[in-house]
Amino acid sequence: MLKIFLSFLFIGSAFSQQNQEEYKKMVEQLMKMKAENQTSSQNQFEALIKKTGGSVWVKSSEDSEFKSIDDSGYYPLDPDDTVKTGSDGYAEIYFSDRGMIKLSRNSELEIRTLEQDDSSVFLKIGALVAKFESKVKKKLFFKVNTPAAVCAVRGTEFAAEHSAFNKESSFGVFDEGELAVSSLDKEGKPSEEIKVEKNQEIVLSPQIKRLKTVRMSRLAKHKNLMAEVRKRFPLYKKRWRPMDFQRREKMRAALLKRKIKDSQEEETSATDKKKPLNKHNRKKRGV
C-alpha cells in the first residue's frame, strides 16, 4: 500500500492543477478504503483451527468435499467453513484472544459469523466445550446454534451437545458464567430464554414441553476436555498476535489444499515447453 502511495505522489507532482485535484480525491478514497478495511478487521474475530488428535476435516462453502488436516499447525477459518472430526478426532478453534472451542469426537461444526458483537457457530452433531471471556469495554455476543436450540454466551465456561439420534440438545455451565438458552419449535422459532447458571445443565428438543435446569450430570463427562481448555487458552492468549493478510492467505490455501501460484506455474510450464529438447529433457518426457 505504501508503494502505491509513493507512486501516486511521484506521478501527481507532474500533473496539472486539475489532475492534482483528481489525484487528491483518489488518495482520499484509498485512505478511506484502508480505514474501512482496518475497522472491519478489528470488529471480526480471527478464527484459527488446530488439530489436536485423530482425523479432522475442513470444508469451505466453495468446496464440495472435506479436506483433511494433515498436521497440527494453526489454520485460518472463514464464515461458512465446516469442521468435522472422526471417531478419534479432536480440534481446537480459537477466536482471537477472546475465546476457544474444543471440538470432541464425531462432531460437525459450522462457522457462521465472526463479528465480535454478533458471532455464531452451528453444532450439527456431536459435542464441544468452550471458554469465552468478556472485556469491560468490548461487548461479546456469541451464539451456539443446534437443530433444536439456540444458546447465547456472555463470558462462560460451558459444554454443548446435539444428538442426531433423539434430536436433543444439551447445554451446561461449568464453574463460571451463565447461558441464555431457547428451544426451537418445529418451525425453527425460539421460545422464551431460560438462564443456565454455573454447575447446571438443560436438555432441549421440540418434544420436550416443560424445560427446566438441573444440576450438571450428563455433561459432566466433558470436564477433562474443559480442563484442557483452561490450560491451553491462557497460553495461546499470551502469544496471540493478529495474522497479516499474506500469511493468512498462504495458510488458508494450505488448509484447503489449493494452489496460490497457478499463473506462475503455468508460465513456467509454457517456458519449459518452448525449450529445445536436450538429453535430460527427453528422458524426463519419455522421448
Where does the pLDDT of residue 192 fall: very low under 50, low under 70, confident under 90, or very high at 90 and above? confident
Domain ranges for the chain, please list them: 2-42, 47-239
Q: Give pLDDT, residue 37.
A: 42
- What confidence category does residue 278 fall into, taking pLDDT thresholds of 50, 70 and 90? low
Task: Give the residue from 170, 175, 146 showing the smallest Cα distance to 159.
Answer: 170
Higher pLDDT, 209 or 5: 209
Cα–Cα distance for residue pair 70/31, rounded to 1 Å? 40
Helix (H/G/I), strand (E/B), else coil: 240: coil
For residue 135, the model assigns a pLDDT of 66
Supply the pLDDT for residue 208.
Answer: 83
How far is it, in rounded angstroms, from Cα 66 to Cα 86?
12
CA gap 107, 255 in Å, rounded = 19
Summarize pLDDT for 194-252 with one digit per residue, the tens.
999 999 999 998 788 888 999 999 999 999 999 999 999 999 999 999 999 999 999 99
Q: What percent of the chain has pLDDT over 70?
A: 74
Q: For residues 170 and 283, which has the higher predicted lDDT (pLDDT)?
A: 170
Joined together, the cell numbers standing for residue 141 give 455476543
Ramachandran quadrant class, 11 (left: phi over 0; alpha: psi -120 to 50; beta: rest): alpha
- The kind and range of the H/E element at 270 are helix 262-274
Reported as a pLDDT band with limits 50, 70 and 90, residue 284 is very low
Beta strands (DSSP E) in the chain are: 47-53, 56-59, 67-68, 74-77, 82-85, 90-95, 99-103, 108-115, 118-132, 142-145, 149-153, 157-163, 168-173, 178-183, 194-197, 200-204, 214-215
104, 219 Cβ separation under 8 angstroms: no
Average pLDDT over every residue of 282-286: 45
Report the alpha-carbon distance of residue 99 to residue 240 in Å, rounded. Answer: 12
pLDDT of residue 268: 46
- What is the CATH architecture of 47-239? Sandwich (2.60)
**8 Å CB contact between 150 and 182:** yes
d(CA 155, CA 98): 9
Residues 165-188 have pLDDT tens digits of 999 999 999 999 999 999 998 888
Kindly tell me if the per-residue pLDDT of 266 is higher than 90.
no
* Cα-only R_g, the chain: 25
Of 26 and 217, the structure prediction assigns the larger pLDDT to 217
**Per-residue confidence (pLDDT) for residue 274, from 0 to 100:** 47
Residue 42's pLDDT is what?
65
Mean pLDDT rounded to a whole number for the chain: 83
Mind listing the pLDDT tens digit for each residue in 82-127? Answer: 999 999 999 999 999 999 999 999 999 999 999 988 899 999 999 9
Whole-angstrom distance between the N-terminal and C-terminal Cα of the chain?
Answer: 48
Is pLDDT above 50 for 5? no
Q: What is the pLDDT of residue 53?
A: 95
